[in-house]
Amino acid sequence: MSPWLCAASLWANTRPPVHRLDARRPALSGPVEHAEIDGFRVHFTRSGSDAPPDDDTDADKLPDLVDAILAGLATGTTAFEEEGFRPLIGDGTAGGDDAIDVYVTDIDAYGYAIPTSTGGQGWSCYIEIDPDTDVFGRIAESVAVHELHHCVQFRYNPNLASWIYEAGATYEQYSHVRDPVLDVALGSLYAMRLDATELKLATTVDRLEYAGFLWMKFWTEFEGYDPDRLPRMWEILADAQGWRPGLQLASEEIFGLPLGQLFLHHAAWNGFACGGSDGLHYLDDPLPCVTESSVPLIPWDGDAPMEIHHSEGPFTSESLDLTPKLTPERDTELTLTCEGQEGLRYALVHLVGGRGVQLTEDVAPSVRRPTLSLARGDRARAVVVGTETPLNATCSVELWQPGPAGCASTSSLAPVSWALGLLGALLLRRGGAPLAP
């Protein structure tokens, strides 16, 4: 394995993450000093390019950056232990003793974590943090938490794709260190992910691997908040030959759902995140959303066909707003039909008073016409996901409405080519309680 390092993300203009091809520990640019807490040793210097600012607000003879790093290490250690993750282990004697070493050194990102083998005990790590990392807004403290969670992840499996490491560490970073500055940074990540439904779950385009924290948030909150699901997920990933078979098994064991069906629920939930919140889906805490961004809804524009093609996949989604063609004063029955490639799943979302209260039954290859009955004034969306290939499919929606004298009338939406997906057969839930349709 080529050791790699993970960069902590804060906002859209953060320095980008890179993968490192060597694991040589840094030689600092001046005389080395140390600061220690239980299980950790921070290496820093006061001269040269690796030196942090010499600010010492609390007059403890340590730079404020070093204090912030120590605080983040303590915060992360306690939080990860309470959450039930595997305990950290020392990284050997390369840094002078068995403590996990943290180097304040000039790098091209806020921070990196590097897996190190301890032989029969499994994987440990060492950490690098840039000396110019801000202490303002608890930024440096959050970076230390982020990098430390990579060390936890390496305890399970150091060989997975980068997106799942960054998604998990970003979720922990913003869960355990709170500040208005960090809330703004988090909001930018929400906006990036919600606006990019055409990009796959595992994308690393434009640093969207960090915005993958939303998958981890969904994982803990779907069908009721349960943070124990994340350690359970990592236990399953420990023996996985890749993130996808690992998540498939974890989805089946934890939720009783195939991964594709769970992703359909995720796509439907994302339609009610941030600016689209209805108060029934994502929780405000942890990881509050301070942006008004929302998932793009493609309006139904009558009989004109709509062509949508996703260039990457799997695990992308699109949402279609069916409201423009509904007659508010009349009951309506909707039927959705989609044709496409393997892994296509879709469903209708029933909205009452702006709240998403129900999804139609999951669509498998043998069941291709989900139907939704709406009372007058209700609204509806279609959610389509691709779970095997890039979305590329054709959908149509049929409406049945009783006429003014009780006669039935039918209209249809012209075929809409999509990149399409999958939906699960359950009521949308919060706190484990089913919502009334």
Alpha carbons 9 and 382: distance in angstroms, whole number: 33
Q: pLDDT tens digits, residue range 229-265?
A: 999 999 999 999 999 999 999 999 999 999 999 999 9
Q: pLDDT tens digits, residue range 188-226?
A: 999 999 999 999 999 999 989 999 999 999 999 999 999
Give the percent of the chain with pLDDT over 90. 64
Q: Which of 266-270, 305-309, 329-333, 339-343 has the highest mean pLDDT?
A: 266-270
What is the pLDDT at residue 437?
A: 24
What is the pLDDT at residue 11?
A: 39
Query: 12 pLDDT band (50/70/90 cuts)?
Result: very low
Q: pLDDT tens digits, residue range 103-145?
A: 999 999 999 999 998 877 889 999 999 999 999 999 999 999 9
Pairing type for strands 355-359 and 297-299 reads: unpaired
Q: Is 211 or 307 the better-scoring residue by pLDDT?
A: 211
Q: pLDDT tens digits, residue range 162-180?
A: 999 999 999 999 999 999 9
Domain ranges in the chain are 1-158, 297-427
Alpha-carbon Rg of the chain, whole angstroms? 24
What would the CATH number be for the domain defined by 297-427? 2.60.40
Residue 359 near residue 348, CB atoms below 8 Å: yes
What is the pLDDT at residue 95?
A: 67
Give the percent of the chain with pLDDT over 70. 82
Task: Kindly write down the DSSP assignment for every residue of 247-283, as one continuous string.
Answer: HHHHHHHHHSS-HHHHHHHHHHHHTTSGGG--SSSS-
403 has a pLDDT exceeding 70: no
Tell me the CA distances in angstroms from 19 to 10, 110, 121, 266, 339, one per residue in order.
18, 14, 25, 29, 40
Q: What is the average per-residue pLDDT within 324-353?
A: 84
16 has a pLDDT exceeding 50: no
Q: For all residues of the chain together, what is the average pLDDT? A: 85
What is the pLDDT at residue 421?
A: 30
What is the pLDDT at residue 24?
A: 82
354 has a pLDDT exceeding 90: no
Across 64-73, 301-310, 347-356, 410-419, least confident range: 410-419
Q: What is the average per-residue pLDDT within 304-330?
A: 81
Query: 78 pLDDT band (50/70/90 cuts)?
Result: very high
Tell me the CA distances in angstroms from 325 to 334, 360, 404, one per residue in order.
11, 19, 17
Query: 399 pLDDT band (50/70/90 cuts)?
Result: confident
Q: Is 371 or 214 the better-scoring residue by pLDDT?
A: 214
What is the pLDDT at residue 333?
A: 87
Q: pLDDT tens digits, residue range 42-73?
A: 999 999 999 999 999 999 999 999 999 999 99
Q: pLDDT tens digits, residue range 405-427?
A: 555 555 554 433 322 232 332 32
Which residue reads 């922990």 in tokens? 172
Which residue reads 């469903």 in tokens? 347
65 three-class SS: helix
